[in-house]
Amino acid sequence: QKTMESQQKFFASDFLSRFKAGGGVKFYTKLSRYFPWSRTDKREKRDKDGLIEFPLPVFLVELIKTATGPAINAGGIIAFDLHADIDTFGNTVQEVSVTGLLLRRAILDTQNEDTRFHVMSYTDAGAAKRSREAAAKAITAIKAAGFPICPKQIDGSKSRLSDRKQKMLRRPSGDVRAVRGSTVYQIDDEASTLGTLETNSRFLIEHYGAKKIVAVITHGVLCGKAAQILSDPSCPVDKLYVSDTVPFHNRPELQPLVDSGKIVVVSIVEELAKIIYYLHWGKEIHRVR
């Protein structure tokens, strides 16, 4: 029900924007903190019924242009940490990453603890592709600030069995020998039921000797058994750092975890302010990225 309400608000705001044309508005850009329609990077595919699906973001951008009318210059969509690269036949959906912001906070909170290395871990090639550059920038900034850190990196792999089931191939590659006795940061753009995160974390502890697991996730969807997994005393994840792209104030089942510090919510208000500032003055938002 909440997802349906969010979608309705997303579209309703576009149609209401047309009334703003009478108030002298000349430029309109949709700023979406969590953009759930970036679940695929394919231009078209067939669903289980054989029907061809098309990339919805293209339709959304055209809908914005239609809804706002010719009097307003529709600038497209700006969203945080897309789940996949979107083929939009043009740069109509722009991405801003806050992975570095979250990772800096997580490392600085733990950098005084006794650990061999700070190991960056990615669940699969897609997660590594999306987050590796942001992680590298965050580590560079931490070093430049004078904080001692010895980063390492491992990559996992995830094989899809079907549209609804996934199998974890428990063979991480990279600096796997550095995991023992180290703090491992599990980095991804989104977490929903936490099944994959829990499986990966437990495996790194039991088979590779990780000392501590810290999750760094941009979009904390956290549905299903997520709250139950994090509340379990045997949960292998020590802390979950997450942004507020998906709000927490209206999810009471997660509030005890926030209060206890198990979930650390990092605000993206400053990033939103920067984006609005750059858009207002006609500057490129790549400086925010």
| pLDDT tens digits, 208-240 | 999 999 999 999 999 999 999 999 999 999 999
Low-confidence stretches of the chain (pLDDT < 50) are 1-4, 41-44, 52, 88-89, 160-166, 168-169
135-144: pLDDT as tens digits? 888 888 888 8
Is 147 found in the same domain as 107?
yes
Rounded-to-integer distance, Cα 240 and Cα 195, Å:
14
Q: What are phi and psi of 121, to 5 degrees?
A: -120, 135
Residue 13: the pLDDT is: 66
Residue 75: the pLDDT is: 64
Residue 74: the pLDDT is: 63
Rounded-to-integer distance, Cα 178 and Cα 257, Å:
30
Is 176 found in the same domain as 55?
no
Rounded-to-integer distance, Cα 32 and Cα 95, Å:
10
In the chain, the number of structural domains is 2
Is 232 found in the same domain as 106?
yes
| Radius of gyration (C-alpha) of the chain in whole angstroms | 20
Is 139 found in the same domain as 35?
no
Q: Which range marks the domain in which residue 214 is found?
A: 99-267
CATH number at residue 135: 3.40.50.2020
175: nearest Cα among 121, 139, 222? 121
Residue 67: the pLDDT is: 63
Please, which residues have CB within 8 angstroms of residue 63's CB and are 6 or more apart in sequence? Answer: 11, 14
Is 133 found in the same domain as 29?
no
